[in-house]
Structure 1
Amino acid sequence: MLLTPRVRASRPKTLRIATALLAAATSATLLAATAPAPVKPLGIGDRLFPHLGNPGYDVLSYDLAFTYRGDNKKPLDATTVIDARTSAPLERINLDFAHGKVRSVEVNGAPARFESTGEDLVVTPPKPLNPGEGMRITVRHTSDPRPTKDKDGGWVPTADGLAMANQADAGHRVFPSNDHPADKAMFTIRVTTPKGLTAVANGLPVATAHRGATTTRVFRTHHPMATELAQVSIGRSTVVHRDGPNGLPVRDVVPTKDRKAMERWLKKTPDQIGWMEEKVGRYPFETYGVLMAQARTGFELETQTLSLFESDLFKRPEFPEWYVDSIMVHELAHQWFGDSVSPATWSDLWLNEGHATWYEALYAEEKADKPLQKRMREAYRLSDNWRAAGGPPAAPKGPAPGQKISIFRPVVYDGSALVLYALRQEIGRPAFERLERLWVRTHRDGNATTADFVQLASSVSGRDLGGFFDAWLYGAKTPAMPGHPDWRKAAPAGK
């Protein structure tokens, strides 16, 4: 994710995500059953989002089906099928889900009782589940695109339909899930729309069916994906196809009315992919593309295989071409750093945003003569103030109340890229570049922690870098920059 600069912001830059409760719903038959003990929301204990994710099972795949009837202010009918395997005895199954009405739930084909608490949907299967047991959970529900008082995220209304923006804690506002990046899974996504609208989702298309006045399109990922990276675009769009490096299918989604005007930007993507492959190795997924949405989100987002951009970003005269190019590379770099190699916890966010910012800045240096060292020196000057406001890179402060996306502060962008610059200064360019390539190859399609990065960096460099990283990642103050004893920091804010 990269926050979009605003010259005149008509609304706050940070998103406000609701804590509205999902109304409990049960069928008349199940209401007659004996009520269990009170349910409670659970989580996997993420430091920044304690109730996000759920213990006791591992999701293997999601099959999502949405029916859109042409009005982005009305709920979509939806069905979510979750195939999972238990890792502990379960008398109840907690799912993350809010902002939709649940009509029915089945577990392994049998009706199950369900109720809501906080932002959890709690399901009681007909009989307890044993460790290692497979389970299929089928939830028939609505998926509501309408905003609530404190909400942005999940579905994003556009001028001609909808898109998704689920980071960092909003996937469960769209579909029931284990909504934490630590539990990645395969996705199949089915979208039914009126004819005349185009639906596109993560992965590659596998089927299209026309029935009466509607069209259903089916997409499937070839690699596991975190829930926060799911994407569905519905609108009056044109899908533009071209070849990328090594025959990679490149698929862009652009408002039909802007198709010709946007070609100058879209045709850049194959070369940008090629540039990233030179830096870190082969692109990690089955396809890539740019989704230009007619929406004001306040950010750009690295949804897997189809990065979300505000279409106005490409039309704003105050942004020079090199700057927009570098933003495109920022979201592209996330396909390696954040999407293929996903954070194990949200405190590992610096690994996503620091690397995306690093390659954004490196691209600007190599392609537009914008010196990386100059940008890093300015980041160094401001770094102590960023740490004071947002915490150190690997131990960020929690989100502001009602603003979950406020964890995306300057310290996780340029403040974290600064750590990578310091590391390159410390171990030398050749070792740093080997580390980058090995990192994305070692942890491809998985999750990784800050400790994993420290361990790999130490191995590549041939020496223990624990002390170096402790200071740079967890210190309240920014350490001295290796090789630049003359770099100075700004006075503390307010003094």
Structure 2
Amino acid sequence: MLLTPRTKPSRPKSVRIAVAVLAATTSAALLAASAPQPAAPLGIGDRLFPHLGNPGYDVTSYDIAFTYHGDNSKPLDALTKIDARVTAPLERVNLDFTHGKVRSVEVNGAAADFTTAGEDLVVTPHARVQPGERLRIAVRHTSDPVSRDVEGGWVRTGDGLAMANQADVAHRVFPCNDHPADKAQFTFRVTAPKGLTAVANGLPLAEERRADTTTWAYRTRHPMATELAQVSIGRSTVLHRTGPYRLPVRDVVPTKDRKQLEPWLKKTPDQISWMEDKVGRYPFETYGVLVADARTGFELETQTLSLFEKELFTRPEFPEWYVESIMVHELAHQWFGDSVSPATWSDLWLNEGHATWYEALYAEEKARQPLEKRMRYAYRLSDSWRAAGGPPAAPKGPRPGEKISIFRPVVYDGSALVLYALRQEIGRSDFEAVERAWVHTYRDGNATTADFVRLASEVSGRNLDGFFDAWLYGAKTPPMPGHPDWTSTPPEKKAASGKK
């Protein structure tokens, strides 16, 4: 995710825990009481979002059907099917879901009782499920695109809908295990009135036309976190082109804006080639740009189909190099954040720091925007960013009612600064080897900050624990290797100067 600058200030809408251990711990606590306990919201213990995700099972796949009735102010009808593997004995199964009406639930083909607790849908099978069993859950529900209290989930566009589920609002769209630690395969089936087009993550499976409606089906070939799900419905045109190694590239744009946007869209194949030169082959089955006629305040790395505001490409004050670098930011996320997903939300710096790094590197190489100048500026502000948002790998929690507020400057340029310091410390060759090894070793999985520290130490042949401890967890920014003259403005002096 990357915030979009505004001409006038506006409120920004702004990103594998040890699941088995946490699940076993939580399940043991649940089973300790002999009498049945009341339904309660659960979580897997994420430091920033403690009630996000659910213990006791691992989702292997989602099959989600939406029926859109042509009015983006009305709920969609939906059926979410979840295939999961049980990892601990469960009398109840908690799913993350809210902001929709549940009509029925089935577990393994039989009707099941259900209730709600907090933002959880709590399902009671007829019998306790045991570790190793397959769990098949089918939930008939509505999915409401209208929200007055939470930002994200469905985004209403000028002609339909799109999704923006980061950081933890996928469960306002469909029932799920809403934490990036539990990645799964996805199938989407979308029915919409004639004249509209639906597109989702992955590749098309089928398209069935009827007199008044069309149903599209899409499926991912790689596991995906719930926050990265994407469904677009609108008066759209799907444009096809070919990327490196014959990669299918498809862009989804408002039909009326097709010609205006084409000069930007045709840049994508070369941008993919540039990223592949840096870190290796593109990790998924397709890529493309989804342009939404909406004011979101951000761009978003939804897997295989990145979401962009239309005005990013139409505002005249944005120079060409800047727009291209933002496109590369979201593209870089396909490796860093999508393919290699964070194990916890405290590992967010690995997503945004890397995407910002390649955004800045692209601007340097393609538009002569010096990386060192940007990093020196970030260094000057780094102490203030750390004071406001915490250090990169131990960010402060979100503000009340603003969960997406974890996307602060410290996880963008403040974390790219850590990567710059690492390159200064171990040299360009070893740094580039670390980057390639990272996306190769943890492809299609989850990884932690500790994993990155360990890998960097192995590749460079040095113990980097002390270096990373200072740069990732320190309240103050350490000295920059190779630049002893760089200084960071203390927070109190920055405030006194009136700078923002």
Output one character per residue of 1:266-293: Cα deviation in whole Å (capped at 9) or x when no partner.
0000000000000000000000000000
Output one character per residue of 1:372-401: Cα deviation in whole Å (capped at 9) or x when no partner.
000000000000000000000000000000
Q: Which residue of 1 aligns with 2:340?
A: 341
Separation in 2 of the partners of 1:114 and 1:404? 27
Q: Is 2:91 the counterpart of 1:87? A: no
Q: Please report the RMSD computed on the Cα atoms of aligned residues, expressed in angstroms.
A: 0.9
Amino acid at match of 2:13: T
Amino acid at match of 1:453: F
Separation in 2 of the partners of 1:296 and 1:260? 21
Separation in 1 of the partners of 2:172 and 2:294? 18
Separation in 2 of the partners of 1:494 and 1:393? 21
Q: Which residue of 1 aligns with 2:31?
A: none
Separation in 2 of the partners of 1:437 and 1:40? 43
Q: Which residue of 2 aligns with 1:41?
A: 41
Separation in 1 of the partners of 2:53 and 2:300? 21
**Match of 2:495, SS?**
coil
Q: Which residue of 2 aligns with 1:239?
A: 238
Q: Which residue of 2 aligns with 1:131?
A: 131
Amino acid at match of 1:387: R
**Match of 2:71, SS?**
coil
**Match of 2:141, SS?**
strand
Separation in 2 of the partners of 1:491 and 1:51? 35
Amino acid at match of 1:93: V
Q: Which residue of 1 aligns with 2:316?
A: 317
Q: Which residue of 2 aligns with 1:473?
A: 472
Residue 197 of structure 1 and its aligned partner are, at CA, apart by 0.2
**Match of 2:324, SS?**
helix
Q: Within 5 Å, which residues of 2 pair with 1:268-283?
A: 268-283=267-282
Q: Which residue of 1 aligns with 2:26?
A: none
Output one character per residue of 1:437-488: Cα deviation in whole Å (capped at 9) or x when no partner.
0100000000000000000000011010000000000000000000001111
Q: Which residue of 2 aligns with 1:32?
A: none
Separation in 2 of the partners of 1:308 and 1:14? 14
Amino acid at match of 2:46: D
Separation in 1 of the partners of 2:37 and 2:103? 22
Separation in 2 of the partners of 1:319 and 1:142? 40
**Match of 2:195, SS?**
coil
Residue 157 of structure 1 and its aligned partner are, at CA, apart by 0.2
Q: Is 2:305 the counterpart of 1:306? A: yes
Separation in 2 of the partners of 1:401 and 1:14? 14
**Match of 2:364, SS?**
helix
Amino acid at match of 1:350: W
Q: Within 5 Å, which residues of 2 pair with 1:50-199?
A: 50-148=50-148, 150-199=149-198
Separation in 2 of the partners of 1:211 and 1:47? 48
Residue 38 of structure 1 and its aligned partner are, at CA, apart by 1.7
- Farther-moved stretch of structure 1 (35-44 vs 259-268): 35-44
Q: Which residue of 2 aligns with 1:289?
A: 288
Output one character per residue of 1:76-100: Cα deviation in whole Å (capped at 9) or x when no partner.
0000000000000000000000100
Contact 2:339 2:443 in 1 (8 A): yes
Separation in 2 of the partners of 1:193 and 1:393? 43
Output one character per residue of 1:215-238: Cα deviation in whole Å (capped at 9) or x when no partner.
000000000000000000000000
Residue 36 of structure 1 and its aligned partner are, at CA, apart by 5.9
Contact 2:394 2:473 in 1 (8 A): yes
Separation in 1 of the partners of 2:211 and 2:66? 17
Separation in 1 of the partners of 2:294 and 2:419? 33
Q: Is 2:203 the counterpart of 1:204? A: yes
Q: Which residue of 2 aligns with 1:392?
A: 391
Separation in 1 of the partners of 2:142 and 2:72? 13
Q: Which residue of 1 aligns with 2:21?
A: none
Output one character per residue of 1:245-266: Cα deviation in whole Å (capped at 9) or x when no partner.
0000000001100101111000
Separation in 1 of the partners of 2:480 and 2:241? 43
Amino acid at match of 2:81: V
Q: Which residue of 2 aligns with 1:494?
A: 495
**Match of 1:494, SS?**
helix
Residue 211 of structure 1 and its aligned partner are, at CA, apart by 1.9
Amino acid at match of 1:130: Q
* Identity over aligned pairs, percent: 79
Q: After the TM superposition, list the runs of 4 or more consecutive aligned residues in structure 1 that deviate by more than 4 angstroms.
A: none
Gaps of 5+ in 1: 16-34
Gaps of 5+ in 2: 15-34
Separation in 2 of the partners of 1:157 and 1:409? 25
Q: Which residue of 2 aligns with 1:363?
A: 362
Output one character per residue of 1:14-44: Cα deviation in whole Å (capped at 9) or x when no partner.
36xxxxxxxxxxxxxxxxxxx9642110000
Number of residues paired by the alignment? 474
Amino acid at match of 2:151: D
Output one character per residue of 1:391-432: Cα deviation in whole Å (capped at 9) or x when no partner.
000000000000000000000000000000000000000000
Separation in 2 of the partners of 1:81 and 1:314? 37
Contact 2:222 2:444 in 1 (8 A): yes
Give the TM-score of the pair, scaled to structure 1.
0.95
Q: Which residue of 1 aligns with 2:446?
A: 447
**Match of 2:47, SS?**
coil
